[in-house]
Every structure is written in C-alpha cells, then in structure tokens.
C-alpha cells in the first residue's frame, strides 16, 4: 500500500477543499468619546468660553433685614445687581463702626449708582444674638437706615458661616475664625451682570473704595476713569477725580494729570 504523506492525508480528509482564507481581524471599536469636564452651560460667556457666575457660589439662604423682610440672599440681593457687601454685628466694638461709616461715605459718593440699582448689604456675623430690632437700632444709630441698604441676619450659624466662606470673609486658622472679635474687615463688591468682583479692606479710604467699585462694576465700552470727562464716564468718577486732586498738593496724587503726562512729578 502506498504510503501517504501527512500533507496528502490532510488533503484527502478535507475532500480536496481549499483551505479557508484567514479570517479578517474584527473591526476595532470606535475610540470612546471623551466627556467634557466643563460645567453646565452658563448664560455668561467670556471670549467664547462659558463661565460660571461667581454669585452661583453664594448660598441662597433666607435672611431677614432690619425692616423684618425675609429675602433670599442670592436671588433677592445679588442676582443681576451691583453689590457692596460688608460684615458687622451689632455688639461689635472693633472694626464694625468704621466699616459702617466708610460704607455710608461710599453710599453718598455713589449717589448716581443708586439710581441704577446699587445694593448695599451689611451681613450680621452674630445670628444667635442679633435680632431684627437690633439691626434696625444699629442702622438708626449710625444714620444708615437708607433705601437700597439692607442689614441682614441669617437664620442660624451654619448659614452665616456658609455665606462668609463663599464671599471670602473667613480666616484660614479655624480657632481665629471662631473668634467673633477677630472677624475679617473685608468689603466685597462687584457686578453680577458682568461677573466682575473685587475686595478691599473696610478701613480703606472711601473714595478709593468708590473708585475701585466704579472701575470693577462698569459695563460696556467706557473711557478710562483717569480722564475727567467724556462719553461713558460716570458722574461719581468725575467728582472723585476733582476731589482727589483738590485734596493733594503733590501732583503725584493727581490721577488724571499724571495719567495724561501733562505735568512733571516732584523729584
């Protein structure tokens, strides 16, 4: 009997069928689509990039003002407004009286802004003791029970701490932060419509605070505030320039003149 080679045996077993062509590799799954880590869409857009309003970080907790009106902190006092926020408590013997005094000066300087919906807020840091009556008495004693200025207190300590931390008025050291007499002397101000915010020490010169407020909260194309006049310059800014020049003999302090280079500074 003729011997068969292994190749011949396999060919006979397969009935002469041709070997199947090698199977094509399975198609790869399409690369997974990377999910965007960008937050949910916001109505604010900066240079084509969606941004979150800073005010969205503020807790929308209930607060009560010196007139006994209950309001939502973010919805009623912040949304869509220009805001100046300070921190006080009615039994304070430290920086609170100075904070309130300087806020009143700023209120007077920014008279024009009041017509455009400026909201002044003085937030109590002592919700366990400050009552509506205390806030009203405090506002009356300091002659600041004025339209557009709310002295408010939250319903509890937890909401007050949340508001402080959201607005930056807290100490990193927890022990110091719990000491009410050592609270932050910060003024926070901004424009919720443009999402521009800034902070200054409450003991700063009220005219500097007012000018910083105008620059930070301005809207649209506006000429530089160092000029005395021109389209878009708020009346308050022009008054401030004139007062600041009159108050200083040194031309270095003359903001408008120094900016224009029209005078030489003292050696």
DSSP for residue 54: G
Name the band, by pLDDT with cuts 50, 70 and 90, for residue 44: low
Residues 6+ apart with CB under 8 A from 239: 109
Q: Any idea which residue has 């209950």 for tokens?
A: 70
Name the band, by pLDDT with cuts 50, 70 and 90, for residue 36: very low
pLDDT at site 10: 54
Query: In the chain, what are the domains?
Result: 50-219 (3.40.30.10), 221-267 (no CATH)
Mean per-residue pLDDT over the chain, rounded: 74
Say if residue 57's pLDDT is above 80: yes
3-class secondary structure, 28: coil
Q: Give the CA-trace dihedral at 216, 220, 224, 229, to 10 degrees.
A: -120
CA distance 97 to 111: 21
CA distance 208 to 108: 13
Taking the CB of residue 97, how many other CB atoms lie within 10 A of it? 14
Mind listing the pLDDT tens digit for each residue in 140-199?
A: 999 999 999 999 999 999 999 999 888 877 777 777 667 776 677 889 999 999 999 999
pLDDT at site 45: 56
Mind listing the pLDDT tens digit for each residue in 110-130?
A: 988 887 789 999 999 999 999
Instruction: Name which of 50-59, 77-86, 178-187 the model is least confident about.
Output: 178-187
CA distance 59 to 159: 8
Structure tokens at 191: 């424009």
Structure tokens at 71: 């309001």
Shortest CA distance to 188 belongs to which of 59, 42, 52, 55?
55
Mind listing the pLDDT tens digit for each residue in 92-109?
A: 988 899 999 999 999 999
Instruction: Name which of 4-13, 32-41, 91-100, 122-131 the model is least confident about.
Output: 32-41
Name the band, by pLDDT with cuts 50, 70 and 90, for residue 230: very low
Residue of higher predicted confidence among 226 and 199:
199
CA distance 174 to 24: 66
Say if residue 38's pLDDT is above 50: no
Taking the CB of residue 50, how many other CB atoms lie within 10 A of it? 13
249-266: string of b/e by CB count within 10 Å (b at 16+)? eeeeebbbbeeeeeeeee
3-class secondary structure, 84: strand
pLDDT at site 94: 85
pLDDT at site 134: 97
pLDDT at site 41: 34
């Amino acid at each position: 009997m003729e011997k068969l080679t292994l190749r011949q045996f396999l060919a006979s077993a397969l009935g002469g069928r041709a070997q199947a062509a090698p199977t094509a590799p399975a198609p790869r799954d399409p690369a997974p689509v990377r999910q965007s880590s960008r937050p949910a869409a916001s109505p604010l857009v900066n240079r084509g990039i969606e941004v979150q309003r800073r005010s969205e970080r503020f807790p929308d907790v209930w607060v009560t003002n010196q007139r006994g009106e209950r309001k939502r902190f973010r919805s009623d006092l912040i949304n869509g407004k220009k805001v100046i926020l300070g921190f006080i408590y009615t039994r304070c013997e430290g920086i609170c009286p100075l904070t309130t005094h300087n806020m009143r000066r700023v209120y007077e300087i920014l008279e024009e802004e009041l017509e455009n919906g400026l909201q002044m807020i003085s937030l109590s840091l002592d919700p366990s003791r400050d009552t509506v009556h205390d806030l009203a008495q405090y506002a009356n004693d300091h002659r600041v029970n004025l339209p557009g200025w709310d002295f408010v207190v939250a319903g509890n300590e937890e909401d007050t701490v949340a508001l402080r931390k959201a607005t930056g008025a807290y100490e990193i050291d927890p022990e110091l932060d719990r000491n009410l007499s050592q609270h932050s002397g910060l003024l926070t101000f901004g424009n919720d419509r443009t999402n521009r915010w800034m902070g200054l020490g409450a003991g700063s010169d009220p005219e500097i605070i007012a000018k910083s407020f105008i620059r930070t909260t301005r809207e649209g194309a506006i000429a530089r505030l160092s000029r005395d006049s021109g389209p878009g310059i708020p009346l308050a800014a022009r008054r401030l320039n004139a007062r600041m020049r009159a108050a200083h003999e040194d031309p270095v302090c003359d903001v408008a003149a120094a900016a224009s280079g029209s005078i030489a500074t003292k050696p």
